[in-house]
């Protein structure tokens, strides 16, 4: 007790520092570990639902073109991704028309909310790989051809 009376100022400063440290630790914890809300924040507020039947319809329409061997689909937050393995005889210009099939089948709400990526691959054809990208603000796909590294040997 005598120590506290003798060092009142030091004890008060120490208690205040301890309280500030506890508040700071709590604030840091809440910043890194929020208790509520989506992992993606509010980016998906108002997102139109992507119907699985529509995705299957798109896959079937792409396969029916006889240009592809396999179609896989994945969604990543606000990006729809189509991984397409094309046949050896498929020309790149013909394969790029797959983007039109996707845009024609999806609803306007989905097209205006999600970005769409198409990955075209074929190991035997030198024109591939190619990537098509459709921004939610764009009217058509933009394409990047031969995206592999040069002189990979």
136-141-145-149 Cα dihedral, nearest 10 degrees: 0
Which pLDDT score, from 0 to 100, does residue 30 have? Answer: 84
Domain total of the chain: 2
Quick one: what percent of the chain has pLDDT higher than 70?
Answer: 88
> Do 84 and 27 reside in the same domain of the chain?
no
Residue 39 is assigned to a structural domain of this protein: no
Which pLDDT score, from 0 to 100, does residue 24 have? Answer: 96
pLDDT tens digits, one per residue of 50-81: 888 988 898 898 888 888 888 899 988 888 99
Which pLDDT score, from 0 to 100, does residue 117 have? Answer: 92
Residue 57 is assigned to a structural domain of this protein: yes
Mean per-residue pLDDT of the chain: 84
Which pLDDT score, from 0 to 100, does residue 100 have? Answer: 87
Residue 92 is assigned to a structural domain of this protein: yes
> Do 141 and 73 reside in the same domain of the chain?
yes
pLDDT tens digits, one per residue of 6-46: 888 888 999 999 999 999 999 998 888 776 665 666 666 77
> Do 26 and 66 reside in the same domain of the chain?
no
Helix 98-105, helix 52-64: angle, nearest 10: 150
Answer for the pair 116, 80: CB distance below 8 angstroms, yes or no. yes
Residue 23 domain boundaries: 2-32
> Do 21 and 89 reside in the same domain of the chain?
no
CATH number for the domain harbouring residue 66: 3.30.300.190
Residue 153 is assigned to a structural domain of this protein: no
> Do 65 and 134 reside in the same domain of the chain?
yes
Q: How large is the average pLDDT for residues 81-100? A: 87
């Amino acid at each position: 007790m005598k120590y506290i009376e003798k060092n009142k100022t030091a004890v008060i400063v120490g208690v205040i520092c301890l309280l500030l440290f506890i508040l700071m630790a709590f604030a840091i914890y809440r910043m890194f570990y929020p208790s509520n809300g989506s992992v993606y924040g509010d980016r998906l507020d108002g997102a139109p639902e992507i119907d699985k039947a529509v995705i299957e319809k798109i896959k079937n329409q792409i396969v029916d073109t006889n240009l592809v061997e396999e179609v896989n689909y994945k969604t990543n937050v606000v990006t729809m991704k189509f991984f397409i393995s094309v046949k050896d005889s498929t020309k790149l210009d013909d394969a790029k028309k797959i983007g039109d099939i996707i845009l024609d089948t999806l609803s306007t709400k989905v097209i205006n909310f999600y970005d769409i990526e198409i990955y075209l691959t074929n190991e035997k054809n030198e024109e591939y790989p190619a990537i098509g990208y459709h921004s939610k603000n764009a009217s058509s796909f933009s394409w990047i051809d031969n995206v592999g590294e040069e002189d990979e040997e």
